[in-house]
Amino acid sequence: MTARLLVYTRTTGYRHDSIPAGVAALSALEGYRVDATEDPAVFRPGRLRDYAAAVFLSTSGEVLDEAGREALTGYMAAGGAWLGIHGASTTEYSWPWFGDLAGARFDQHPPVQAGVITVEDKDHPATEHLTATWTRRDEWYAFTDNPRPRVRVLLTVDETSYEGGTMGTDHPVAWCHERLGGRSFYTALGHTDESFAEPAFLCHLRGALSWLTA
C-alpha cells in the first residue's frame, strides 16, 4: 500500500537551493506518494488526516497561520507523524510547541565541510544500515541547547573532525521522540543537492519514514 506524504517547503527566511533535489528524492522513494506544496492552507484538519506523515523539508521562518498551527497540533495529538529535514529547525521560532516537535532550535553553523558522524543508536530503521562512523560533507548545524534530555539521539557529529563546532563533546544531529501524541523525527543532515543523491542518506530518510509510518 502506498503511503501519502505531505512535503512542505515554504520559506520566509533563508531558502536552501537543495529543496528541489529533496522533493525529487522523496518523490522517488518506493512506497510513497508525495504531495509537495508551499501553501499553508493545506494545514487544515480535514486535509492533514489524509497523510501518513508531514515532512518539513528545509522550511524556514514563520510558515503556518494560526489555523495551520492548530491543525498540526491536532494532527500530532491524534497520532500523526512529522519528519523535519535540515532547515526545519529554523522554523516557527516564536511558537514553543514547534520547538518541542523539532526537538531543538537551530543556532549557527560553520561553512560546509566534511565531518565524521558517530552512529550512537543502530537499533532504528534510520541508522541500521550504517557502520559505526559515517564520514560525509554537510552543513553542521549547532543548536541553542542539547536535545538529548528530550529525545532519543541516533547520530552525533564529532566536532574534532571539522572546524567551527560550538556544542562540544555531545553534538546530536539526528533524533526522534514520541512526546506529542505522534512520532517525530529530525535530521540536521541534507544541506547540499548531493545529499539527496547519496545512497546512505536516502536510506537514512527511508528508514525515518518507515519508523514514522509503521
User: In the Cβ-directed half-sphere of 192, how many Cα atoms lie within 13 Å?
Assistant: 14
pLDDT band at 59 (very low <50, low <70, confident <90, very high): very high
Which tens digit of pLDDT belongs to each residue from 133-160? 999 999 999 999 999 999 999 999 999 9
**What structural domains and CATH numbers belong to the chain?**
3-212 (3.40.50.880)
Mean pLDDT (whole number) for 172-177: 99
Query: Is a pLDDT exceeding 90 seen at residue 1?
Result: no
Which tens digit of pLDDT belongs to each residue from 4-19? 999 999 999 999 999 9
CA 59-6-140 angle, 5° bins: 35
Mean pLDDT (whole number) for 95-118: 98
User: In the Cβ-directed half-sphere of 84, how many Cα atoms lie within 13 Å?
Assistant: 29
Q: Is 151 helix (H, G, I), strand (E, B) or coil?
A: coil
Residues in the chain, overall count: 214
Mean pLDDT (whole number) for 162-167: 98
As a whole number of angstroms, the distance between CA 187 and CA 206 comes to: 12
pLDDT on residue 120: 98
Q: Phi and psi dihedrals of 147, rounded to 5? A: -80, -5
